[in-house]
A and B are shown apart, each in its own frame.
Chain A
Amino acid sequence: AQSVTQLDSQVPVFEEAPVELRCNYSSSVSVYLFWYVQYPNQGLQLLLKYLSGSTLVKGINGFEAEFNKSQTSFHLRKPSVHISDTAEYFCAVSEIRAGTALIFGKGTTLSVSS
Chain B
Amino acid sequence: EAGVAQSPRYKIIEKRQSVAFWCNPISGHATLYWYQQILGQGPKLLIQFQNNGVVDDSQLPKDRFSAERLKGVDSTLKIQPAKLEDSAVYLCASSLLVQPPYEQYFGPGTRLTVT
In the assembled complex, A83 has its CB within 8 A of some CB on chain B: no
Chain A residues with CB under 8 A of B50: 99
CA separation between A61 and B48, bound complex, in Å? 30
Is the beta-carbon distance between A90 and B106 smaller than 8 angstroms?
no
A43-B109, A49-B103 are known contacts. Are A99 and B97 too (CB-CB below 8 A)?
yes
Residue of B nearest to A42 (CB): B108
Interface residue total, chain B, C-beta cutoff 8 A: 28
B77 to A: closest C-beta gap in Å: 15
Contact of B13 with A by CB under 8 A: no
Pairwise interchain contact B41-A101, C-beta atoms closer than 8 A = no
State in angstroms the CA–CA spacing of A36 and B93 once bound together.
13
Interface residues of A in 58-101 (CB under 8 A from B): 90, 92, 94, 96, 98-101
Query: Quick one: closest B residue to A49, CB to CB?
Result: B101
Q: Considering the chains assembled together, what is the distance between the CA atoms of A41 and B39 in angstroms?
A: 12
Show the binding face of B for A, using Cβ within 8 Å. 4, 31, 33, 35, 40-45, 48, 50, 55-56, 91, 93, 95, 97, 100-104, 106-109, 111
28 interchain pairs, CB-CB under 8 A: A32-B102, A34-B101, A41-B108, A43-B106, A43-B108, A43-B109, A44-B106, A45-B106, A49-B103, A51-B100, A51-B101, A90-B42, A90-B43, A92-B42, A94-B102, A96-B100, A96-B101, A98-B97, A98-B102, A99-B55, A100-B102, A101-B33, A101-B45, A102-B45, A102-B104, A104-B44, A107-B41, A107-B42
